[in-house]
Chain A
Amino acid sequence: MIKGYFGSYGGAFIPEILHETFQQLTAHYEAARNDPAFWAEYIALMENYSGRPTPLTFAANLSTKLNKKIYIKREDLNQTGAHKANNVMGQGLLVKKMGKTRVIAETGAGQHGVATATMAARMGYDCTIYMGAVDVERQRPNVFWMQQLGAEVVPVKSGSQTLKDAVNEAMRDWVGSMDNTHYVLGTACGAHPFPEMVSWFQSVIGQEAREQILKLEGRLPDRIYACVGGGSNAMGVFQGFLSDNGVELIGVEAGGRGVDTPQHAARIASNDASEGVAQGYKTFFLQDRDGQMLHTHSVAAGLDYVGISPILADLHVKGRVRFIAAKDDDVVSALKYLMKNEGLIAALESSHAVAGALMEMADIKDGSVVIINLSGRGDKDIFTIADALGDPGWKQFIAEKAKQYAGESS
């Protein structure tokens, strides 16, 4: 196998100017990976700073209603409320080893941006976050927190003004700033070593989940559901079970307004993607006949991305991971359902995993053991969710707040 390739996917398709930067990063990553002390330091940090291990919560009410044993892996309980902290703190430790003083990152939902900003604040790095202008609008609370944490947030107005464009802009920064700057890529995509490295840091999810389910149930689960944007939370939980062939792994992509419309972001669970190379790596992209990337849509800002982790692309081709899509409407219903029945407020991204599981629960035997990876909590989505629910009290509150601010500024 060629380094950095997973089957025919992956690689490092980067401008020559970054060649040495990637060599340096790969060397530090490989050294860390071969050093048990590094992983021990990482785990200690995550226990102390991010509340790991996160619980594997038994969803008692869902389980009774559906006649299954449903467990929720609680990545929403991480520092900053999502699995993104796992990757960010790991890369933060590497930044120290590389002697760099500044970090940059792209963000879609803003969760990775907030996580990076907290890491930078704690570890003492300067921080710039690139975020599509469309996402700045729909994830405003996260923009507020990034700025309060001391990060500069740059709204990206090029292309479709979403996640992929934020990646391009971060790359443009990096090709000039690599001497003192590390690019903290937020998902298991991009050029080698990012897909492998991000998956490694996220593998803590699956390691814990495996141990926890064996302790709680005395056996491995039948199915695991995870939402898939770039693929980092899915890779994280799946890695604990890859060699257990009896465990079915299901990735849930963003079905948007339906995979039979152009408004979705399903790379695998639609007929609209094909193999390509962009943003530094080879995978399935939502692109047209000319190789131009398509505009994507999802109610979840963290899922509407044109590409998918090359590792997941390979696992799809090999038949190890099955992919389905959940539509916006079903996702909002799933979010409400989990909230009302279990008291858990899931992020819109994570609610795709819940929706995917709910869609399929009738297909499996009663008593089956199912894990849903809850990648993050939903507080950040309050505006989008309030819109989706059309909550009149919330609208009135915002209208009054707006009036108050308008009065202050005049």
Chain B
Amino acid sequence: MEKLIRNTDKKILLMSHLVLGYPSLQANQEVIGEMVAGGVDLMELQIPFSEPIADGPMIARANQSALDNGFKVREGLAFIADTIKTHKIPFLIMTYYNILLAYGVEDFIKEAARIGVKGLIIPDLPPQEAAQAIGWCKEYGNGELDWIQLMTPTSSDARLQEIAGSASGFVYCVARKGVTGNKTDFGNELAEFIKRCRAATSLPLAVGFGVKSREDVAQLTDLAEIAVVGTAAIKIHEEQGAKAVGNFFAGLR
């Protein structure tokens, strides 16, 4: 994805996030259309898991609700395949490692590559456990399927180096401690953290966790290549419907 991300005249790219099957795949389809129309450049599709430890209350509830409504991984992958055929932007899968394990890690990655997924974000599979999965991404992805690594403010410089060593596509920088959905102060501390990430990697950086307004995005413009918007969009979808989500993204830049 690195080339795709560099090859733009936009000041910053927007990556949106949604939970598959919440409130339904049909509703997902509609909101994805609105997001793309609203100018979203990349999209993270989360496959729900019953134990989403890295997610905040809002996304955790969405995971549970999708499962209660009968979400199945194979249907989710078929939906992703259709979505990729319909829209031209890069789509990534975000989920937890157990979903891959249950499917068969190699088979899952093979399938993701086959349907044209551009990246995998698996927050509970740390770099020291991920070598084999990264290898399969390379083997089956032909350079088109990136394993997205996460950098966090608590990671030491040495650890950031280690993470960078196996990163490709871009690096996802977690703007602060805590789970998704809480407020982030995009102040000096963030700038310091991003500087440490830049020192560790030459890949583009995406900054996520708590981005929710035009001001937040403007502040990130000088810091990062990609702004990630998750919980804020789910909230707008819940409260005001799919159309409002498109307008929200159109107004962010």
Write the residues of chain A forming the contact surface with B, with a CB cutoff of 8 angstroms. 11-21, 158-159, 164, 168, 171-172, 175-179, 274-280, 285, 287, 289-293
CB contact between B174 and one of A13, A16, A171, A178 (< 8 Å): that residue:
A16
Contact with A along B76-112 (1 / 0, CB 8 A): 0000000000000000000011110111000000000
Q: Which residues of B contact A16 (CB under 8 A)?
A: 123, 126, 150-152, 155, 163, 174
Contact A176-B177, Cβ < 8 Å, known A15-B54, A291-B102: yes
Distance (whole angstroms) from the CB of B108 to the closest CB of chain A? 10
> How many Å lie between the Cα of A23 and that of B44 in the bound state?
30
Q: Which residues of B contact A175 (CB under 8 A)?
A: 54, 177-179
* Chain B interface, DSSP helix/strand/loop, else mixed: loop
Q: Does B154 reach chain A (CB closer than 8 Å)? A: yes
Q: Which of B4-12, B55-63, B196-204, B214-222 contacts A (4 or more CB under 8 A)?
A: B55-63
Verify B52–A21 contact, CB threshold 8 A. no
The chain B residue with its CB closest to the CB of A293 is B50
List residues of chain A with CB within 8 A of the CB of B61.
158
Least CB separation from B73: chain A residue: A290
Q: Which of B143-159 contact A (CB under 8 A)?
A: 150-156, 159
Bound CA–CA A275/B105 (angstroms): 13
B2 at the interface (CB under 8 A from A): no
Q: List 17 A-B contacts (CB under 8 A).
A: A13-B126, A15-B54, A15-B152, A16-B126, A17-B154, A158-B57, A159-B50, A159-B64, A168-B52, A168-B53, A171-B53, A176-B178, A276-B101, A287-B102, A289-B102, A293-B50, A293-B51
Chain B residues with CB below 8 A from A158, complex form? 57, 60-61, 64
For residue B72, CB closer than 8 A to chain A, the reply is yes
Question: With an 8 A cutoff between CB atoms, is B27 at the interface?
Answer: no
Contact check, B152 vs A276: say whether CB atoms are below 8 A apart.
no
Complexed CA–CA distance, A159 and B49 (Å): 10
* Besides A16-B151, A292-B50, 12 new A-B residue pairs in contact (Cβ under 8 A), listed by A number: A13-B124, A15-B124, A16-B150, A20-B154, A168-B53, A171-B53, A175-B54, A276-B102, A290-B99, A291-B98, A291-B102, A292-B67
Cβ of A164: which chain B residues have Cβ within 8 Å of it? 51
A176, B55: Cα distance in complex, Å: 12
Closest Cβ–Cβ distance, residue A333 to chain B (whole Å):
33
- Does any Cβ of A come within 8 Å of B129's Cβ? yes
Please tell me if the beta carbons of B126 and A12 are within 8 angstroms of each other in the complex.
yes
Closest to A11 in B: B129
Residues 115-131 of B at the A interface (beta carbon under 8 Å): 123-126, 129
- A13–B150 CA distance with the chains assembled, in angstroms: 14
Do A172 and B179 touch (CB < 8 A)? yes
Residue count of chain B within 8 Å CB distance of chain A: 40
Q: Given A168-B51, A279-B51, are A19 and B102 also a contact pair (CB < 8 Å)? A: no
In the complex, the chain A residue whose C-beta lies closest to that of B182 is: A176
A275 touches B101 (CB 8 A): yes
Q: Which residues of A contact B125 (CB under 8 A)?
A: 13
* Contact between B152 and A291, CB atoms less than 8 A apart: no
Contacts of B50 in A (CB 8 A): 159, 278, 292-293
Which residue of A has the minimal Cβ distance to B178?
A176
Residues of B within 8 A of A15 (CB): 53-54, 123-124, 150, 152
A276 to B73, CA, bound (A): 16
Q: How far is B103's CA from A11's CA once the two chains are assembled, in angstroms?
A: 20
Residues of B within 8 A of A17 (CB): 54, 152-154, 174, 177
A184 CB to nearest B CB, Å = 17
B152 touches A290 (CB 8 A): no
Q: Provide the bound-state CA to CA distance between A97 and B179, in Å.
A: 27
Which A residue's beta carbon lies closest to that of B56?
A172
Query: B102 to chain A: which residues have CB within 8 Å?
Result: 274, 276, 287, 289-291
A14 near B98 with CB under 8 A, answer no
Chain A residues lying within 8 Å of B51, measured Cβ to Cβ, are 159, 164, 168, 278-279, 293
B52 pairs with A20, CB closer than 8 A: no
Residue from the list A13, A159, A287, A291 in contact with B129, Cβ < 8 A = A13
Q: A158-B64, A277-B101 are in contact. Are A291 and B49 (CB under 8 A)?
A: yes
Which residues from B are CB-within-8-Å of A171?
53
Nearest CB in chain A: distance from B98 CB, A: 4
Distance in Å from the Cβ of A4 to the closest Cβ of chain B? 10
Q: Sort A-B residue pairs by CB-CB distance and give the 5 closest, nearest first.
A: A291-B102, A176-B178, A291-B98, A17-B152, A292-B50
- A106 to B236, alpha carbons, bound, how many Å? 32
Q: Are B154 and A291 in contact (CB under 8 A)?
A: no
How far in angstroms is the closest Cβ of chain A from B251? 29
- In the complex, A177 Cα to B177 Cα: how many Å? 8
Measured CB to CB, the closest approach of chain A to B87, in angstroms, equals 25
In the complex formed, the residue of A with least CB distance to B122 is A13
Residues on B with C-beta less than 8 A from A14 are: 124, 126
Q: Is the CB of A277 within 8 A of B97?
A: yes
Q: Given A14-B124, A20-B154, check contact A287 B52 (CB 8 Å).
A: no
Interface centre among B96, B159, B163, B179 (most CB of A within 10 A): B179
CB distance from A280 to the nearest CB of B (A): 8
B98:A278 contact, CB within 8 angstroms: yes
A171 to B123, CA, bound (A): 14
The chain B residue with its CB closest to the CB of A12 is B126
Minimum Cβ distance to chain B for residue A258 (Å): 23
